């Protein structure tokens, strides 16, 4: 029975559990739902959860575990003629698995029969041509009859495991159904039980964020440690030169990259925050509903344009324009790529992050606050500046933080707009680059993957992680301090 069907059956049983439990309590209460502890739907939900949760959890766990268990088992039981000398056992097990798949396919297409499979090793000579004729590819290792035997065995275990799983899962589902039926009493505190379950599910979901963080740190920390074994940490954190070399003797100081990151992000925010905020204010406070419902998604398109388009725009249009109109006349250099170019173009990309989120937040400020302010005689702009914005501040800060986060993580626009040269300079018309760009380029480069030049990407990633962490803590503190809670 395919897993899809098992899941479907479980879900059908869950629906049955829902209906049955609901009907039963109503009947026990004599049709008067006031005599129940909870509203009757909660009994239904409780019944459904009892059916579905254990069954589906066991199903998932079983499916994850079964291949591993079978692989282990088969590896231990393989005859020596299959375990070839000097061949990695993992490859042999893989061959067995492929043989098993081919045999199953043969069975499905009617080329083989169940009796053929029972002792595949003995009938190897007749099986092979039949499979080949049907266009089913056997791994070359299956020229060994014992391999076919092992494949048959593997398949047998798979099938046995699968039926055992089906049995257990359906049994659990039916058990849940029975239990649900039994527990459907008017005095059962069904709502509390269901809510406890929902809360557990919510907590599980929130913990994914923590797990992600742990995963990120874990996936970078070993390589970073390896990097710091090869390269002095003082040089990394306090070095002011970034110049990786192929032949060794690289200087890998983070400071110029950090400076570039902050500089470019700052310019991007200076562009995006005012434009985004004013756009949001206009949309939510001045524009008619029709205009707003058109303008808002239009601006959101900006967030969806692939960054490579912005990058090309920066490279071909904005870069030369800034160079010819500003940098050269002002005597600030003649670089086609500059911090300013990348910052401006990235700012445009970030507008919707600020505008759309802020618009939602501003829109959610209670109308009574506006009415109050307007009633006291303030103009609309005064209302916005003195009342609405302070009330919406925490959300707006969140939006700006999100925009800043995107700015820090962006690569394409920086590579094409600001170049790849690491430099510490105040001149906004100089080429500079960011940490993220260097993470990507060192990871996707041609250097030896065990060398400091590649491993530095992990150290950079981890450092950036810590830096943004600190910035976020500060932001949280600031928001807490200045938050205005109305009502």
Partner 1 sequence: MTSAKLTVSALAVIAATASVAHAREQIQVSGSSTVLPYSTIAAEAFSENTDFPTPVIESGGSSAGLQKFCQGVGENTVDIANASRPIRESEIETCRANGVTDIIEVQIGYDGIVFASDIEGPDFEFTPADWYNALAAEVVVDGEIAANPYTRWNQIRPELPDQAILAFVPGTKHGTREVFEEKVIADGCEESGASDAFTAARGEDGADACTVLRTDGRSVDIDGDYTETLARIQSDKDGIGVFGLSFYENNTDKLKVGTISGVTPSTETIASGEYPVSRPLYFYLKKAHIGTIPGLKEFAEFFVSDAVAGPSGPLAQYGLVADPELAQVQQTVADEATMQ
Partner 2 sequence: MTDLSASGAARKSSLVTLDDRTRRRNAAERRFRAYGVAAIATAALALAILLVTIVGNGVGAFRQTFVTIPVTLDAQQLDPAGNRDRGEMSGVLTLAYGGLLNQSLRQSIEGAGIEVEGLTDRDIDDLISKDAPAQIRNRVLANPDLVGQTVEVAVLTNGRVDGYYKGRVSLASAANDGNTSPQQLALADALKERGLLATKWNWAFLTNPDASDQRPEAAGVGIAILGSLYMMLVVLFLAVPIGVAASIYLEEFAPKNRLTDVIEVNIANLAAVPSIVFGILGLAAFINFAGLPQSAPIVGGLVLVLMTLPTIIISTRAALKAVPPSIRDAALGVGASRMQTVFHHVLPLALPGILTGTIIGLAQALGETAPLLLIGMVAFVRNFPAAPPEGLFDPASALPVQVYNWTQRADPAFFERASGAIIVLLVLLLCMNLLAIYLRRRFERRW
Residues of the shown chain interacting with partner 1 in the complex, contacts defined by CB under 8 A: 2-4, 6-7, 11, 14, 45, 52, 56, 59-60, 63-64, 67, 87-88, 90-91, 94-95, 97-98, 101, 137, 139-141, 198, 201, 243-247, 249, 312, 315-316, 319-320, 333-337, 415-416, 419-421, 423, 430-431, 433, 437, 441-451, 453-454
Residue count, binding to partner 2 (CB under 8 A): 105
Q: Which is nearer to partner 1, 262 or 420 (CB)?
A: 420
Asked if 402 interacts with partner 2 (CB under 8 A), we say yes
Nearest approach, Cβ of 233 to partner 1 (angstroms)? 21
Look at residue 364 and give the partner it binds from partner 1, partner 2, none, a contact being a CB closer than 5 to 8 Å depending on partner kind. Answer: partner 2
What sign results for the dihedral spanned by CA atoms 366, 369, 375, 379?
negative
421 binds, among partner 2, partner 1, none (CB under 5 to 8 A by kind): partner 1
* Residue range at the interface with partner 2 (CB under 8 A); choices 83-91, 99-107, 205-213, 419-427: 205-213
Q: In angstroms, how far apart are the furthest CA atoms of the chain?
A: 97
Judged by CB under 8 A, the chain residues 423 through 442 that form the site for partner 2 are: 435-436, 439-440
Among partner 1, partner 2, none, residue 79 binds (CB under 5-8 Å by kind)? none
Rounded distance between C-alpha atoms, residue 365 and residue 191, angstroms: 33
> Segment near partner 2 (CB under 8 A), from 162-170, 232-240, 242-250, 295-303?
295-303
Q: Pick the binder of partner 2 from 183, 380, 427, 447 (CB under 8 A).
A: 380
Residue 375 found at the interface with partner 2 (CB under 8 A) = no
Toward partner 2, which CB reaches closer, 118 or 321? Answer: 321
What are the CA-CA distances from residue 398 to residues 253, 330, 475 (Å)? 31, 37, 9
- Of 220, 252, 340, 452, the one binding partner 2 by CB under 8 A: 220
CB atoms closer than 10 angstroms to residue 303: 15
Residue 487 is a binding residue for partner 2 (CB under 8 A): yes
Query: How many of the other CB atoms lie within 10 Å of CB of 323?
Result: 21
Choose the one of partner 1, partner 2, none that binds residue 243, judging by a C-beta under 5 to 8 angstroms depending on kind.
partner 1
Q: CB of 106: closest distance to partner 2 in angstroms?
A: 19
Instruction: Indicate which of partner 2, partner 1, none lies near residue 451 (CB less than 5 to 8 Å, by partner kind).
Output: partner 1
Please, which residue, 14 or 365, has the CB nearer to partner 2?
A: 365
Among partner 1, partner 2, none, partner that 329 touches (CB below 5 to 8 angstroms by kind): none
Question: With respect to partner 1, which residue has the nearer C-beta, 325 or 449?
Answer: 449
Asked if 299 is part of the footprint of partner 2 (rule: CB under 8 A), the reply reads yes
**Tokens (6 digits) for 318:** 């904005």
Interaction of residue 209 with partner 2, rule CB under 8 A: yes
Alpha carbon distance 310, 23 (integer Å): 60
State the sign of the Cα–Cα–Cα–Cα dihedral 17, 19, 22, 24: negative
Choose the contact partner of 408 out of partner 2, partner 1, none; CB within 5 to 8 A by kind: partner 2
Q: Is 405 in the site for partner 2 (CB under 8 A)?
A: yes
DSSP 234-263: HHHHH---EE--TTS--EE-SHHHHHHHHH
Per-position x/- string for 146-185, each x denoting binding to partner 2 as judged by CB under 8 A, each - no binding = ----------------------------------------
Could you tell me if 99 and 139 are in contact, meaning their C-beta atoms sit under 8 angstroms apart? yes
Q: Does 308 bind partner 2 (CB under 8 A)?
A: yes
Tell the smallest beta-carbon distance from residue 56 to partner 1 (Å). Answer: 5
112 contacts partner 2 (rule: CB under 8 A): no
d(CA 7, CA 58): 11
Whole-number minimum distance, CB 75 to partner 2, in Å? 15
281 binds, among partner 2, partner 1, none (CB under 5 to 8 A by kind): partner 2
Q: Tell the burial category of 480 from Cβ atoms under 10 Å away from its Cβ (0-12, 13-18, 19+).
A: exposed
- Regarding 390 and contact with partner 2 (CB under 8 A), the answer is no
Q: Which is nearer to partner 1, 450 or 472 (CB)?
A: 450
Q: Of the two residues 167 and 486, which places its CB atom closer to partner 2 in the complex?
A: 486
């Amino acid at each position: 029975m395919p897993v899809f069907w098992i899941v479907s059956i479980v879900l059908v049983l869950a629906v049955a559990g829902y209906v049955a439990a609901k009907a039963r309590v109503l009947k026990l209460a004599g049709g008067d739902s006031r005599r129940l502890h909870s509203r009757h739907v909660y009994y239904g939900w409780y019944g459904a959860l009892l059916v579905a949760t254990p069954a589906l959890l066991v199903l998932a766990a079983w499916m994850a575990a079964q291949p591993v268990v079978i692989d282990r088992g088969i590896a231990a039981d393989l005859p020596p003629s299959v375990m070839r000398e000097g061949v990695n056992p993992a490859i042999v097990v893989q061959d067995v698995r492929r043989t098993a798949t081919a045999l199953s396919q043969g069975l499905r297409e009617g080329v083989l029969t169940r009796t053929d499979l029972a002792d595949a090793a003995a009938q190897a000579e007749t099986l092979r041509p039949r499979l080949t004729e049907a266009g089913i590819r056997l791994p070359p290792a299956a020229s060994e009859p014992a391999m076919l035997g092992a494949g048959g065995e593997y398949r047998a275990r798979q099938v046995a495991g699968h039926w055992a799983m089906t049995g257990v899962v359906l049994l659990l589902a039916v058990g849940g159904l029975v239990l649900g039926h039994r527990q459907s009493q008017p005095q059962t505190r069904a709502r509390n039980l269901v809510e406890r379950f929902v809360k557990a599910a919510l907590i599980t979901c929130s913990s994914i964020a923590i797990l992600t963080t742990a995963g990120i740190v874990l996936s970078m920390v070993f390589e970073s440690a390896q990097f710091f074994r090869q390269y002095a940490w003082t040089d990394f954190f306090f070095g002011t030169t970034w110049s990786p070399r192929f032949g060794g003797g690289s200087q890998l100081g983070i400071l110029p990259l950090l400076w570039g990151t902050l500089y470019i992000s700052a310019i991007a925010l200076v562009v995006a925050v005012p434009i985004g905020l004013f756009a949001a204010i206009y949309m939510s406070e001045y524009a008619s509903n029709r205009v707003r419902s058109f303008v808002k998604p239009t601006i959101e398109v900006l967030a969806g344009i692939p960054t490579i388009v912005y990058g090309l725009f920066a490279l071909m249009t904005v870069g030369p324009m800034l160079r010819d109109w500003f940098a050269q006349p002002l005597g600030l250099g003649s670089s086609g790529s500059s911090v300013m170019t990348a910052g401006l173009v990235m700012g445009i990309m970030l507008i919707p992050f600020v505008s759309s989120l802020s618009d939602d937040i501003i829109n959610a400020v209670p109308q009574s606050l506006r009415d109050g302010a307007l009633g006291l005689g303030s103009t609309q702009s005064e209302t916005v500046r003195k009342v609405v914005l302070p009330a919406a501040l925490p959300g707006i800060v969140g939006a700006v933080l999100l925009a800043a986060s995107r700015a820090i993580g962006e690569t394409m626009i920086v590579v094409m707009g600001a170049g790849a040269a690491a430099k510490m300079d105040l001149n906004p018309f100089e080429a500079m680059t960011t940490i993220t760009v260097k993470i990507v380029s060192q990871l996707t480069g041609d250097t030896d993957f065990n060398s400091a030049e590649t491993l530095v990407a992990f150290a950079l990633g981890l450092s950036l992680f810590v830096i943004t962490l600190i910035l976020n803590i500060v932001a949280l503190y600031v928001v807490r301090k200045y938050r205005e809670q109305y009502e």
